[in-house]
Amino acid sequence: MDNVIESAVERVIRAMRENLGDVITIDDMARTAMFSKFHFTRIFQRVTGISPGRFLSALRLQEAKRLLLTSSMTVADISHVVGYNSIGTFSSRFRASVGVSPTEYRQYRGYVAPLDDVAPRSGVRGTVVRGHVSDPESRGPEHVLVGVFRDRIAQGLPIRHTILRGAGAFVLEDVPEGSWFVQAHSVETGYDQSDPESDCLAAYGPVTVRRDVPVLGVDLRLQGRRIFDPPPLLAQLDQPLRTAA
C-alpha cells in the first residue's frame, strides 16, 4: 500500500489517541491527513477496514476500559475524559460494544462469564466453519478466542465462538447464513491487560455462509496489533480464562 497514504492515516490515528477527550470532526481528521474530506474517508477505510468515526469510537472505548481497570476515577469522569458529554450515552455505547456495563467491567476486572452464543436457534441447521489459528512468531498465546462477528470490529457478542488453549485447529458449529467476519484474539504468556498493545489479532472475511455448505480453510495468522487495527472491545477478549486457585 502507498506509503504516503499509510503515513497520513497513521498521523490521524495518533492525533485521535492524543486528543480522545476533544471534539474531533471528519474535517479535523482530513486536515491532519492533508487530503480532501471525501478522499480521506475512502483511504482511511481502505487502510483500517472501518470508517474514521468508528475507529475513533473504538479507541475511546478501549481507553475507557483501561481507565476502569487501572484508575479510581468515577464512570462519569472517565466518560468525560474519553470524549462523551453524556454519561448515559457513554454507558449505553460501552455496554453495546463491550457486552457489560462500565461498572460491571470494573467489578469483574475486565472479564465476563463464558458467553452464550447469541444467534437465535431457529430450528434450521446452520453451517460448520473450520480453520486453523497459527502463531508465526511463536509468542505463546495461552488463550485464543475465535468468534464470528458481524463486522470488522470484535465488539458485542459473537454470533458463534470457541476458545482454544493456544494456536491450532478450530471448529465453529451451526453458524447461521449471512456475511460474517471470523476473528481471533489471543493473549500472550505474561499478558498485561492494562496494556492495550500487548494482544494479538487475526481476521478473515467477510465470509459468506450458506446453509449446509461447510466453510473450510479459514486461516487466521496471529500478529501483534498494529496501529491500523481497530481495538477489540468485547470484555471476555481482554483477559485469559481464570484458572482454579
pLDDT of 172-211, one tens digit each? 999 999 999 999 988 654 445 545 556 788 999 999 999 8
Instruction: Indicate if 91 and 160 belong to the same structural domain.
Output: no
Q: What are the CA-CA distances from residue 220 to residues 119, 171, 226, 228 (Å)?
A: 23, 13, 16, 18
237-241: average pLDDT: 44
- Of 58, 75, 107, the residue at which a domain comes to its end is 107
Residue at 121 is within a domain: no
Residue at 215 is within a domain: yes
52-67: average pLDDT: 95
Q: Report the candidate in 50, 238, 242 with the shortest Cα–Cα distance to residue 145.
A: 238
Instruction: Indicate if 161 and 220 belong to the same structural domain.
Output: yes
Residue at 82 is within a domain: yes
Query: For residue 110, what pLDDT is reported?
Result: 81
Residue at 180 is within a domain: yes
Residue at 57 is within a domain: yes
Q: Specify the residue for cell string 477505510.
A: 45
Q: What percent of the chain has pLDDT over 70?
A: 83
| CATH number, position 204 | 2.60.40.1120
Instruction: Indicate if 80 and 161 belong to the same structural domain.
Output: no
Supply the range of the domain harboring residue 61: 3-107
| CATH number, position 103 | 1.10.10.60
111-131: average pLDDT: 70
Residue at 31 is within a domain: yes
Binned at pLDDT 50, 70 and 90, residue 26 comes out as very high
CB distance 111 to 238 below 8 Å: yes
Residue at 112 is within a domain: no
Query: For residue 119, what pLDDT is reported?
Result: 57
CB distance 173 to 195 below 8 Å: no
Residue at 191 is within a domain: yes
- Of 73, 107, 141, the residue at which a domain comes to its end is 107
Q: Can you give the pTM of this predicted structure?
A: 0.81
Instruction: Indicate if 97 and 195 belong to the same structural domain.
Output: no
CB distance 157 to 140 below 8 Å: no
Instruction: Indicate if 29 and 102 belong to the same structural domain.
Output: yes
- Of 72, 107, 142, the residue at which a domain comes to its end is 107
Number of domains in the chain: 2
Binned at pLDDT 50, 70 and 90, residue 32 comes out as very high
